[in-house]
Amino acid sequence: MKLGIIGAGHIGGNIGRLAALAGYDVTVSFARDRANLTALATEIGGTAGESAEAAAADLVVLSVPWGVIDEALAQAGSLAGRIVIDTTNQFGRGVAASLNGRTAARYNADRMPGAAYTKCFNTLTAGFQAAAATRTGDARVVRWIAGGDSPAKTIVAELVTPSEPRAWPPPDTFRQLRTGCLPAPPHHAGSRGRARGPASAGSARG
């Protein structure tokens, strides 16, 4: 399966590395430093392309800072008919007010008309995700998937599990339209990005 990543930074890069190891044909795009993008593509045996090329893949990951989502989507073009994984979070002063009462997931889904929209890879920090990818047994952590399209969520789950077979148990899924806030990770030293294990994972409001 072809996987296109729009925004191959820390989280997008992690996804690209693990997906390539699982046999996905990966295209990475939308980076401030083209040399770094090319280096990542060479490292994982993928392709460095433009956002529109990444958007033509079977499965598309949007992994850019909140403030540049519009720019990234403009470069990507229409995502209608594509399965999209949104890893973004609505960080920034005044962002909550700009959502006009919608969840960030609902707001972003509305920016991608016709796409089979899902939300994943956004509840753990990039460093934690990279470190946890080799965990086994009871040390594994839950990977949440949100979305209103069941077939799309199944395909996203196939990306999550084969690319991180030891780290992530089968994900809990719930409808994106009802997704509320998950607790933020603690901010005191040494704990940012810590995740709850399967037995104690927090549930989404809905």
In a domain, 151, yes or no: yes
CATH number of the domain enclosing 124:
3.40.50.720
Q: What is the mean pLDDT of the chain?
A: 77
All residues at 6 or more sequence positions from 91 whose CB lies less than 8 Å from its CB, including other chains: 65, 66
pLDDT tens digits, 125-135? 666 666 566 66
pLDDT (tens digit per residue) in 145-177 = 888 898 998 899 888 875 554 444 444 444 444
- What is the bridge-based pairing of β-strands 116-120 and 83-86? parallel
Q: What is the pTM of this model?
A: 0.76
> Is residue 43 predicted with pLDDT exceeding 70?
yes
State yes or no: pLDDT of 192 exceeds 50.
no
Residue 191 inside a domain? The answer is no
Residue 194 lies in a domain: no
Q: Is residue 114 part of a domain?
A: yes
| Structural domain of 168 | 2-178
Number of domains the chain is built from:
1
Within-domain flag for 167: yes
Whether the per-residue pLDDT at 206 is higher than 60: the answer is no
pLDDT at 173: 43
Print burial letters for 103-129: b (CB count within 10 Å at least 16), e (below 16): bbbbbbbeebeebbbbbbbbbbebebb
